Amino acid sequence: MDCSEDDPTIFSAHCLPSDPRLWATVTNSYLGTRVYRDTIHINGVYNGAGGDTHRAILPSPLNVQLEAPAGTEQLTETFTLDTNTGSFLHTLEGPSFRASQRIYAHRVLPHVLVFSVSIARLTTGNKSITVPLQADFSPESPDLDLHVGPDFQGLRYLHGHILNPEQPGEPQQEVHMLWMPVPPALTLGEEEKDRTWEFLTVVGSSQAEAQDCFAEALQLQTRGVLYTIHADSWGQLWAGCGLDVAGPLALRQALRGSLYYLFSELPQPGTQGFISHGLSPGGLSNGSQEECYWGHIFWDQDIWMFPNILMFHPEAARAILEYRVRTLGGALKNAQNLGYQGAKFAWESASTGLEVCPEDIYGTQEIHINGAVVLAFQLYYYYTQDLKLFQEDGGWDVVSSVAEFWCSRVEWSSQDKMYHLKGVMPPDEYHSGVNNSVYTNVLVQNSLHFAAALAKDLGLPIGKQWLEVADRIKIPFDSEQNFHPEFDGYERGEEVKQADVVLLGYPVPFPLTPDIRRKNLETYEAVTSPRGPAMTWSMFAVGWMELRDPSRAQVHLSRSFANVTEPFKVWTENADGSGAVNFLTGMGGFLQAALFGCTGFRTQ
């Protein structure tokens, strides 16, 4: 596949990837889909009990493709993702006509998905031009009890509810969809030079909401500005926040693509009443059953995506933190179920915040997610000084509850007079049940110091054990070899899955001398699995940039590119193409390498 022009903002090819997982996605803060896929996902709508919960599949009326008019020869076909306008285009051009389809998730009207078809005459003549449409739609879903309702103002109507809520007694969320029926073909009349048809799909949580959102979209469509307002909104976003560098086209496109896919998940700045349901590793376009971690929310949101969002879009960053506030009840229950005080945020979270990881070991042992959650609140506080979030809107409850969890989870060792944290799994998931993961323990220390400092700022009492545990928790360090072992008993040379100890210093604030930072990087650089996830190499790059070694940083930054697929810059979790796709986690790490590695910028 070859791009049609050297533009870092437009990704084009003459055919689609053979793997449909790598096709472009169109998403807004409420709806997400992959082009030519039969599935729409709705933010916050999950089906399935407990660990089986996953994003519910809503059948997609946008699964429509253009076909060439009968008898067409010398046809040129192009597929384009235009990040400037947040839209996907499929163009068929022959000697006498051009037909194009545009697909987008409306940026201003998040309940609306649109595809349009335009036909233009390129030569003189008055023969009609008919373009067939291949539509594949069935009003069925494995996750929803759906029923066809009466038409509404010429639109089809489908409504129903999820089959199984995440937890017993929860309501079965409703889904209501209106869409314009798609004909088998569209015809440009004999006397017409060009024409555009627009097809709307509208989704809401009630019939009234769907109808109201349709009325709003119809008003814009009638004025002829439905697409213009969407495109202008993207233009305003890019004018206010973007990232470009002087460098190879591939690097510039990777940066732009990463920003596009991440921004697609967020509301337009200034949007009122946005409710975040969290950011999953594969984004809203992915997360059906057995796909991209079922759409669950991990530490990926807080460690890998959040710092970039905070820099560009503090309003959306706050909404993401509000998701953690709303699910604090589940986190409190998780801690109680494990026999501890305070809050333990789920390794995998969905609607309630209760643990929904299908495998118990991760939910029980990867407690470092607690430190990641608090770090996100900490960065937000330093960046915005938004006291209201902590005084009135639940932020303090999150920070203090995590502090209480840490104090109940550690154990005092009379032998070395330190607090130990036993039986955990660090980010390096090749090792489980270890004691004193240095990454986890540093996060404990950071969480407790921040909780104490925040309490002082808010005029609240400091927990009686917070500073004692923070100051006396064991931080493994080998003074002879001048590096931090990953955990008690770690032997140098043992393979590790991904960035772990090298996260100390950045993104986790922790004072390190240049010599120790270098030794940590060298030690784990030699033993990190080449099969590890994308964000690993970005963090090595940040470390080497901190040490002013750009050549070594470039080696690792370049490794990230193995996870960027052509032509639409969709990331895969692993370099061999396996794992999650549209991997926002990897994109987040890559963007941090540029934003915080190249610049040295820190929020503190």
The H-or-E segment that residue 210 falls in is helix 207-223
Q: Cα separation of 330 and 349, whole Å?
A: 9
Of 209, 429, 525, 566, the active-site residue reads 429
Outline where 225-365 has alpha helix (H): 226-240, 249-264, 299, 306-312, 314-326, 328-338, 360-365
Q: Per the omega criterion (within 30 degrees of 0), is the bond before 95 cis?
A: no
Place of tokens 């928790």: 473
Kindly list the strands in the beta sheet with 31-34, ordered across the sheet, starting from the edge strand earlier in the chain: 25-27, 31-34, 39-42, 58-59
Q: Per the omega criterion (within 30 degrees of 0), is the bond before 509 cis?
A: no
Q: How many helices (H) and strands (E) does the chain have?
A: 17, 20
Note the Cα 266 to chain centre separation in Å. 9
Q: Cα separation of 296 and 293, whole Å?
A: 6
Q: Cα separation of 509 and 490, whole Å?
A: 23
Percentages helix, strand, coil for the chain (3-state, rounded to 5) are 35, 20, 45
Q: Cα separation of 585 and 589, whole Å?
A: 6
Catalytic residue list contains 429: yes
Provide the 10 A C-beta neighbour count for residue 577: 14
Catalytic residue numbers? 429
